[in-house]
């Protein structure tokens, strides 16, 4: 595995691979790897001849007062994991390499970005789209792998790629969870023991809503109420950011689950802001 810090070097190596007829899979990450990241890497490894993993805590996707400085970092351990998962390149740029001092160009998908997490993180997805597009252009990846935990992120990236006519195919992997249902997240380390003990209830309540839909319930209002009632009892340390029933592709709120629908949420547990979602109904 090559460890690259310079974006020009990354572009040069990837151009060489393409010229040689080798296809490239890309897994963008912010590091502090857990089994969810490993799954994306293993999957990327299977999809193409070459696997590029990027590790960049992207300042542009953090708002003022968010956890950019505190975000957990463990480069040495991450490099060992990326190597074990079969990465050909681990790309770890400095912020100054990705954003020159007079950096001025942004990619935005404003409507999809204003929904859900966009309400409390208004510039987050503009930062995500910009860095992901830069990574796509540097690698010209044939396929890029994202996690379904960040449902809104992969939906926005799919739209960006479609709208711009990019050749990169987007693949999403199911959320990897702890045995008790908590979605793995680099931010789980922010929780105290008490918060961690309650946190599985986030997903358990979403599953409860999923079971209600399987049992014939379709009212988004009643589904939300049922989840909020459970959280009031079993998640007293949680502070709700949002809980919404939306269309999986348009992210528009739904009154009724009579077609494709997800339930998505963000809950603050102390210092951790945790997101999760469940597919209530597929195509």
DSSP 142: S
Catalytic residue among 34, 37, 42, 247: 37
Residues of this chain, 32-51, that bind ligand AMP according to CB under 6 A: 36-37, 39-40
Residue pair 56/92 in contact (Cβ under 8 Å)? The answer is: yes
Which of 48, 129, 141, 183 contacts ligand AMP by CB under 6 A?
183
Least distance (Å) between residue 143 CB and ligand AMP: 13
CB distance 201 to 276 below 8 Å: no
Q: Which two tokens stand for residue 100?
A: 């020159």
Does 168 contact ligand AMP by CB under 6 A? Answer: no
SS3 205: helix
10 Å CB burial of residue 181 (0-12, 13-18, 19+) is middle
CA atoms within 13 A on the CB side of 202: 33
**Helix, strand and coil percent figures for the chain, each rounded to 5:** 45, 20, 35
Query: Given the complex with ligand AMP, which of 14 and 30 has the nearer CB atom?
Result: 30
The one among 130, 186, 218, 277 contacting ligand AMP by CB under 6 A: 186
Question: Considering the complex, what minimum distance in angstroms separates the CB of residue 152 from ligand AMP?
Answer: 10
93 binds ligand AMP (CB under 6 A): no
Shortest spacing between CB 30 and ligand AMP, in angstroms: 4
Stretch that binds ligand AMP, among 98-106, 110-118, 180-188, 212-220 (CB under 6 A): 180-188
The yes or no reply on residue 113 touching ligand AMP (CB under 6 A) is no
Size of the site for ligand AMP (CB under 6 A): 17
Q: Chain centroid to CA 196: how far?
A: 21
Q: Rule CB under 6 A: say whether 248 interacts with ligand AMP.
A: no
| Spatial separation of the C-alpha atoms in residues 241 and 268, rounded to whole Å | 7
Take residue 39 and report the two structure tokens written for it: 């799954």
Binding ligand AMP (rule: CB under 6 A), the pick from 45, 121, 149, 196 is 149
The angle at the Cα of 6, spanning 4 to 7, to the nearest 5 degrees, equals: 110
- Indicate whether 185 belongs to the interface with ligand AMP (CB under 6 A): yes
Cα radius of gyration rounded to whole Å, the chain: 19
Does residue 210 belong to the site contacting ligand AMP (CB under 6 A)?
Answer: no
| Stretch touching ligand AMP by CB under 6 A, among 132-140, 168-176, 253-261, 265-273 | 168-176
Is residue 79 near ligand AMP by the rule CB under 6 A?
no
Q: Does 278 bind ligand AMP (CB under 6 A)?
A: no
Residue 124 annotated among the catalytic residues of the structure: no
β-pairing verdict for 50-55 and 89-91: parallel
CA distance 118 to 111: 9
What residue ranges bind ligand AMP (CB under 6 A)? 29-30, 36-37, 39-40, 146-147, 149-150, 173, 175-176, 183-186
- Annotated catalytic sites, by residue? 37
């Amino acid at each position: 595995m090559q460890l690259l810090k310079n974006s020009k070097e990354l572009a040069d190596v990837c151009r060489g691979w393409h010229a040689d007829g080798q296809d490239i899979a890309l897994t963008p990450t912010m590091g502090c790897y857990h089994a969810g990241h490993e799954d994306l890497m293993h999957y990327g490894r299977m999809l193409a001849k070459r696997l590029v993993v990027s590790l960049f805590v992207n300042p542009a996707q953090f708002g003022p007062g968010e956890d950019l400085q505190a975000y957990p970092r463990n480069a040495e351990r991450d490099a060992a994991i990326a190597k074990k998962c079969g990465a050909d390149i681990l790309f770890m740029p400095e912020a100054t390499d990705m954003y020159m001092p007079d950096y001025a160009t942004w990619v935005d998908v404003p409507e999809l970005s204003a929904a859900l997490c966009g309400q409390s993180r208004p510039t987050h997805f503009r930062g995500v789209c910009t860095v992901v597009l830069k990574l796509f252009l540097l690698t010209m990846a044939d396929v890029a792998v994202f996690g379904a935990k960040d449902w809104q992120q992969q939906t926005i990236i799919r739209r960006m790629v479609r709208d711009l006519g990019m050749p990169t195919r987007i693949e999403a992997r199911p959320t990897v969870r702890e045995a008790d249902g908590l979605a793995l997240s680099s931010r789980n380390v922010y929780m105290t023991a008490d918060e961690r003990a309650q946190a599985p209830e986030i997903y358990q309540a979403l599953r409860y809503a999923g079971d209600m839909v399987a049992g014939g319930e379709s009212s988004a209002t009643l589904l939300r109420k049922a989840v909020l009632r459970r959280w009031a009892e079993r998640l007293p340390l949680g502070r709700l950011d949002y809980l919404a029933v939306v269309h999986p592709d348009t992210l528009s709120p739904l009154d009724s689950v009579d077609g494709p629908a997800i339930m998505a949420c963000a809950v603050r547990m102390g210092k951790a802001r945790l997101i999760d979602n469940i597919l209530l109904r597929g195509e």
